[in-house]
Structure 1
């Protein structure tokens, strides 16, 4: 066999061997890529994303799109070839597996956590929207969950309204933990509560729960230290003056909160918030209307622009990462609160884009 032919054959065999090794050798990485975007003013799965009853609504136009990121599953084993392709691809991001699934979290656990965060984001979106419109919202501190085999099991129940701890009124969920941890493990804590069933009955009647009772829980030592615990998670429950439902399947996490809020504001006020423009965005939101950062901002920008977005509402804390690679034709608009977002939408609607707050690398 001629030397040149032998050399080419050997090189081909080596290349094949390397490719086989690349396919067979697994690496601890996962991939993120742009996911679908959904217009919160429109329909999804054959029904409106935002549904309001018991209150007058108004026609809307344009887009207020929430954005998503696709990720590989917890059990997906990426090989070297896929990792290299992902690193080189412009629209994908390869990250350590533990970034998406820390502490060995399974896909089921991640899905459940995302579902819970999505549900909470919907609640906060409603509160933020109504408060932006100066529509009163009633709030109360409740027992969100009771840990199995904890001191509170059988005494406190999910849905119980917590009025006070040791006689001190509570106004925020964190107040409960602060008051409990003033005790030493083994000491008693007195809770003033409205039982869950009575609270639900009052809410159904359109009234605030009034009748209360006192229960005592003996604290235990926390598993990670010497602080006192009672084994509950406190949260906030709200009563809305009319019904608002957010219908969107196969989406998880808290990052659509801002866009849900803006969609509700648009439907509850005369005129179009966007002026018919295509606006997309992302960001968590809390009950006070503060916009928080999210993950995968680069992927969301790509997905938004591919869908046709001209403007992207960007959480202030994501701006530095977002400006590193802005898709052509997309204008980033920096937001810190829902009030910031509505003011910027006013400018977009009026064509005053020179006055929009922009993102910077710092």
Structure 2
């Protein structure tokens, strides 16, 4: 073999090995970056993202966008390097997103449940803010719970024995007075039909001397008002704040956003407290690229958010739902508001 050809082959061999390795071998990292944003006042697949029926609705314009973080898994060496140098993405150990011993399907299922819970909490927080009446609903049922053969998620609890159920605490307090083996009569509404069924209590897992029904009660809108959320394939609890604001905007006079493009993020509990989330930097980038001028930031995320603010994006510090509504009102009136 010609010596020059042999020298060329020897020189190219490391490059070929690197090329094959870089394109085939995956790395133990995932790439995080800006994800899609969704206008909670708008529609997806021809359905309102926040669909409200059974009550007069106030017209809305502008945007109240929820934001997400994209997660890219199964990266090869070249892909990981590309995301690392992009500036808009970051690499984190895969174990931080998909813990060892937990399948991706299990993680996704948990994230989807968090998202569903955030929808319920957002509805309750908004109804409390608006001082609208609520009913007690079955939010969850244990797998082997005594109630599992009778009740379904979404049933409205009307009465247990002779005790009216007006708040979730009523269920917990009443069942707590009973012992395992006691039979209670539950009156509940499923759809338009009121039903009555006996349920024999089991022993509570953490205190076998007390009766156990095995449900998680929560609050919800009182019929005929009905609220449905129509975003699929989204995980995590961080859309709660924006869902609450959208519901308030639709059920109250005026426009919270003043017709402008507002985006934000944050968990929310039933009392309207706004909690921190992950990936705040990527969410701000996504919001600004979508056209947002104002971004609502959970107070606990402010320090991180200040590190890299996209040009032209105003950050508003939010601790609770009342504060978020007040801050938007200040902006609409040309007043100063609390920033990060």
In the superposition, the TM-score normalised over structure 2's length comes to 0.82
What is the SS of the residue equivalent to 2:57?
A: coil
Q: Any idea what the Cα deviations from partners look like across 1:206-244, whole Å, max 9, x if unmatched? A: x9x9x796734235689xxx9999694524242424122
2:173 corresponds to 1:218: no
CA distance, structure 2, for counterparts of residue 221 and residue 38 of structure 1:
41
Q: Is the 8 A contact 2:133 2:221 kept in 1?
A: no
Aligned length: 333
Within 5 Å, give how 1:25-64 maps onto structure 2.
Answer: 25-64=25-64
Select 1:263's aligned residue among 246, 260, 264: 246
Within 5 Å, give how 1:220-235 maps onto structure 2.
Answer: 232=214, 234-235=216-217
Structure 1 residues 154 and 132: CA distance shift in structure 2, 3 A: closer
CA distance, structure 1, for counterparts of residue 317 and residue 244 of structure 2:
16
2:200 corresponds to 1:204: no
Within 5 Å, give how 1:268-287 maps onto structure 2.
Answer: 268-287=251-270
Structure 1 residues 351 and 220: CA distance shift in structure 2, 3 A: closer
Structure 1 residues 310 and 199: CA distance shift in structure 2, 3 A: same
What is the SS of the residue equivalent to 1:255?
A: coil
What is the SS of the residue equivalent to 2:92?
A: strand
What is the SS of the residue equivalent to 2:119?
A: helix
Q: Is the 8 A contact 2:62 2:260 kept in 1?
A: yes
Unaligned runs of 5+ in 2: none
Q: Is the 8 A contact 2:158 2:189 kept in 1?
A: no
Structure 1 residues 31 and 235: CA distance shift in structure 2, 3 A: farther
CA distance, structure 2, for counterparts of residue 23 and residue 116 of structure 1:
35
Within 5 Å, give how 1:228-247 maps onto structure 2.
Answer: 232=214, 234-241=216-223, 242-247=225-230
Give 1:259 shift: 0.7
What is the SS of the residue equivalent to 1:314?
A: strand
In the superposition, the TM-score normalised over structure 1's length comes to 0.77
What is the SS of the residue equivalent to 1:348?
A: helix
Select 2:111's aligned residue among 111, 114, 129: 114
2:129 corresponds to 1:132: yes
Give 1:119 shift: 2.0
